[in-house]
A = this chain, B = another copy of it.
Amino acid sequence: MAKSLFMSIATLVILNVTGLNLLAADAPKANADRMEARIIGLGEFGKNADGGVDRVAFSDADIAGRNHMIGLMKTAGLEVHVDYAGNIIGKRAGKNPALATITFGSHIDSVPGGGNYDGDVGVMGALEVVDLLNEADITTEHPLEMIIFTAEESSMIGSRAFTGDLSKRTLDSFTSPGDRRDGLDRIGGDHTRLKEVRPTNPVHAFVELHIEQGGILEQKNLNIGIVEGIVGISTWPVKVEGFANHAGTTPMPGRRDALVAASKLIIAINERATRMEGRQVATVGRIEAFPGASNVIPGTVEFSLQIRDLDADKIQHLFEVIQQEAKMVEVEMDVKISFGTSGVPAPALTDIRLRNLIEQSAKDLGLTCQHMQSGAGHDAQHMAHFTPTGMIFVPSRGGISHSPNEYTSPQDMANGADVLLRTILKLDETIFTEE
């Protein structure tokens, strides 16, 4: 079920299946109160004093939250199992077992000091879809799978394993949340069998509902974002080398201050990324001066440069412009500037047919929408290289995420679940011509 099989084919074949009543204008809609109550219920696991949540992957809070979700999924009639990567998978049989599986879901792990909506909204939206199907007594043609991916906020370990893209390097990272192999085993996975995680049965598509984590939908007063793709993220370590010296005995002229040089480059990065046409962003988020004492002129400064865009060529072009700026700073300030190797989550485009289904679903429901890129990473970016993938955004208040102040209204969540359900039902009516 490699992506290439699908991407060249844009024609759809419409099947005649059940579930049509939920596509009717007067069909039952997602229950906003139920979704809100479930969000609050899940928020108890890892709840912190700031009103947010600390539910980092593999933590006790994560494990408790996972067990809570497994219970809810079983109550909804799903046949639940945990794969070797700890992904929680709830199966709902289809009428035609020969058809490929329609998958949908998100994650419930959080960043440290995170909020209650990032990931959780997509999971509760998926569960709402199952409940709505149950309540309407509908069996789809295709088998369905609701998936809660493991450790999205910690290198997306679950979706990487699911799509066969989990490297030893990712597993070796101890940055967060400690020993990842041990963590996988603790949540019911088996780190020695990760190569067996990738499904061997065919997958029809994947759809993820998620909060926008940006402020565009709110600012434009729109209900739904149709995600064109997840931006590529290139992050370079940058090193500026001047000459460390005594801050008292070294006159101002002739100093080779690495921090003054770094400051010039940081401003240039910001200006170039801002002035260039397009949606690219460039950020310096981390900086350290060495030796780092108030009475020593910094001899070395290290900082991170991160560029994101949906177009890999655009990332490269902006990087080259920044390298030119660095050369000018080198000459002006008598320093040496070097760029390390960038990490490369490449841009991941969603499937154009899925975008169309999502757009049509939103319009059917009378919801306003626009196409947009996702500046944040998501499990969907790995799924997009594995199966036709679509992604639905709902508004984030103030564009805030990864914070206790993260918030999406119950109605926005319900809108998202409605679009997710409709998209799945339309997918169920559809067979991509190779199948």
Contact = CB atoms under 8 A, between A and B. Distances in A.
Contact of A266 (B259, B292, B294, B295): B259
Contacts of A401: 246, 249
Contact of A295 (B215, B252, B285, B294): B285
26 contacts: A212-B249, A214-B246, A214-B251, A231-B248, A246-B375, A246-B401, A246-B402, A247-B283, A247-B285, A247-B306, A247-B375, A248-B377, A251-B281, A252-B281, A259-B284, A260-B267, A264-B267, A283-B294, A283-B295, A283-B296, A285-B292, A285-B293, A285-B296, A285-B298, A286-B289, A288-B288
A431 interface: no
Interface in A358-394: 374-377
A297 to B, nearest CB: 6
Interface in A274-323: 274, 279-289, 291-298, 304, 306, 308
A270 interface: yes
Given A214-B246, A401-B246, A294 B304 contact: yes
Interface string A237-265: 00000000111111111000101101110
A213 B295 CA distance: 13
Q: Nearest 10 A-B pairs (CB), nearest first?
A: A214-B249, A248-B375, A263-B263, A294-B304, A247-B283, A249-B375, A252-B274, A263-B266, A248-B376, A213-B249
A151 to B, nearest CB: 16
Contact of A285 (B263, B284, B289, B304): B289
Given A279-B251, A287-B287, A289-B286, A267 B263 contact: yes
Interface of A: 212-216, 231, 233, 235, 245-253, 257, 259-260, 262-264, 266-267, 270, 273-274, 279-289, 291-298, 304, 306, 308, 374-377, 399-402
A71 to B, nearest CB: 32
Contacts of A304: 294
Contacts of A260: 266-267, 270, 284
A250 B375 contact: yes
A301 to B, nearest CB: 8
B285 A287 contact: no
A400 B245 contact: yes
Contacts of A402: 246, 296
Nearest to A296: B285
Nearest to A248: B375
A172 to B, nearest CB: 19
A279 B251 CA distance: 7
